[in-house]
């Protein structure tokens, strides 16, 4: 599966989190959408930290896997015995939930921009 980026997103207060993300990453957030979303890239990696406000779409800690092709990734995971939800259209992406046995309190979502 071609994973292009991993984002760890947490629910929280965007205004407060933006400053903390800047301290952790050493740079101002790469993107901020008002009080809905803020994200920062970890330097030298394809890992991003994000905080979602109440309207940002993340209500529990979530690992977001950006993939090159949702169809290919879903096919590969399903063939490997991983339970993957249906592909859904989001606001800026197509996405699918990934369900791993034994994983609780963290949501996993694959997505492809578009």
Mean pLDDT to the nearest integer, 87-100: 92
State the pTM of this model. 0.90
List, in order of start, the domains of the chain with CATH numbers: 3-113 (3.10.180.10)
pLDDT, tens digit, for every residue of 11-63? 999 999 999 999 989 988 999 999 999 999 999 999 999 999 999 889 999 99
Predicted local distance difference test score (pLDDT) of residue 85: 96
Rounded Cα distance between 52 and 10, Å, is: 6
Residue 112, phi then psi, degrees to nearest 5: -135, 125
Sign of CA dihedral 102, 49, 12, 37: negative
CA distances from 40 to 33, 46, 111 (A): 12, 11, 18
pLDDT, tens digit, for every residue of 66-90? 999 999 999 999 999 999 999 999 8
């Amino acid at each position: 599966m071609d994973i292009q980026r991993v984002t760890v997103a947490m629910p929280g207060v965007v205004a407060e989190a933006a400053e903390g993300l800047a301290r952790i990453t050493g740079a101002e957030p790469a993107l901020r959408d008002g009080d809905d979303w803020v994200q920062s890239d970890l330097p030298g990696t394809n890992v991003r930290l994000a905080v979602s406000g109440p309207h940002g779409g993340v209500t529990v800690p979530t690992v977001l896997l950006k993939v090159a092709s949702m169809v290919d990734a879903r096919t590969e995971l399903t063939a490997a015995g991983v339970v993957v939800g249906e592909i859904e259209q989001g606001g800026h992406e197509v996405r699918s939930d990934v369900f791993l046995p034994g994983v609780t309190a963290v949501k996993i979502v694959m997505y492809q921009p578009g």
